[in-house]
A and B are shown apart, each in its own frame.
Chain A
Amino acid sequence: DIQMTQSPSSLSASLGDRVTITCRASQSISNYLNWYQQKPGKAPKVLIYAASSFESGVPSRFTGSGSGTDFTLTIRGLQPEDFATYYCQQSYSSPFTFGPGTTVDIK
């Protein structure tokens, strides 16, 4: 199985901040990497697919980059609704695995 790791596991940030979350795969997954946002008590929501492609309706302040084993999700200008947990997920090979999550909370 491909193992996914994320760093940091949590971070505190202020409104308007730029936030960067890193995801690393245990082997190369090209750009088969998706990002999700999950708020407490809710189902996850896809933000980015194919490492850098925007999901319809997602604000442009969310951007993804990377390929191979290292990926980043950047949020530019943090908004109140962005405080949540973020997961990366590889779709390169079965079983499709998720990172452990990064929680973004209010400083």
Chain B
Amino acid sequence: QVQLQESGPGLVKPSQTLSLTCNVSGDSISSGDDYWSWIRQPPGKGLEWIGYIYYTGSTFYNPAFKSRVTISPDTSKNQFSLKLTSMTATDTAVYYCVRVRIERGYDPFDFWGPGILVTVSS
């Protein structure tokens, strides 16, 4: 069974950089069968796709974040990470790491971590 687990700080100060890690078990991020993604959800609001990475290191980012975001793999640990710079209160959200099954372009987000709440506050 594929499992993902986010880890990182629950509190970040304004202007700081958020760093989150997703540990993957039950699948290899190097398999080439999937993308590995980050999605966030502000409290009480909807879902926003941040970006994803392929095992080759190719990345695809939401332009809304492009200047602030970096997603990178650590194939030796079967993990991938998210860095988001210049955090503000509007970045307060639950951050999910997600597997994206490559399926003829339909590419559903098929396995999700439980999420980690990140609050931006001084």
A-B contact pairs, 23 of them (CB 8 A): A31-B106, A34-B106, A36-B109, A42-B114, A43-B96, A43-B112, A43-B113, A43-B114, A43-B115, A46-B110, A49-B108, A50-B106, A55-B108, A87-B46, A87-B47, A89-B109, A91-B108, A94-B60, A94-B62, A95-B64, A98-B48, A98-B49, A101-B46
Shortest beta-carbon distance from B46 to chain A in Å: 5
Binary CB contact string for chain A from 79 to 96 against chain B (1 if under 8 A, 0 otherwise): 000000001010100111
Known A44-B47, A49-B103; judge A95-B63 contact (CB<8 A): yes
| B26 contacts chain A at the CB level, 8 A cutoff | no
CB-based contact B103/A50 at 8 Å: yes
- Which residues from chain B contact A94 at a C-beta distance below 8 Å? 60, 62
List residues of B (62-76) whose CB comes within 8 Å of A's CBs: 62-64
Q: Are A44 and B106 in contact (CB under 8 A)?
A: no
| Interfacial chain B residues near A98, Cβ < 8 Å | 46-49
Bin chain A's interface residue count: 20 to 34
Q: Which residue of A lies closest to B112 (CB)?
A: A43
Main secondary structure, interface of B, reads loop
- Is the C-beta of A97 less than 8 angstroms from some C-beta in chain B? yes
Residue from A36, A87, A91, A100 within 8 A of B106 (CB atoms): A91
Contact check, B46 vs A55: say whether CB atoms are below 8 A apart. no
**B107 to A, closest residue via Cβ:** A91
Given contacts A89-B47, A94-B60, 4 further A-B contacts (CB under 8 A): A43-B114, A49-B106, A55-B108, A98-B46
A62 at the interface (CB under 8 A from B): no
Residues of B within 8 A of A100 (CB): 46
Q: How far is the CA of A93 from the CA of B105 in the complex (A)?
A: 9
Contacting residues, chain B, for A95 (C-beta < 8 A): 49, 62-64
Question: Which single member of B60, B64, B110, B115 contacts A55 (CB below 8 Å)?
Answer: B110
Question: Which residues on A sit within 8 Å (CB–CB) of B46?
Answer: 87, 98-101
- In the bound complex, what is the Cα–Cα distance between A95 and B110 (angstroms)? 18
Chain B, range 44-92, C-beta contacts under 8 Å to A: 46-49, 60, 62-64
CB pair B108 A34 closer than 8 Å: yes
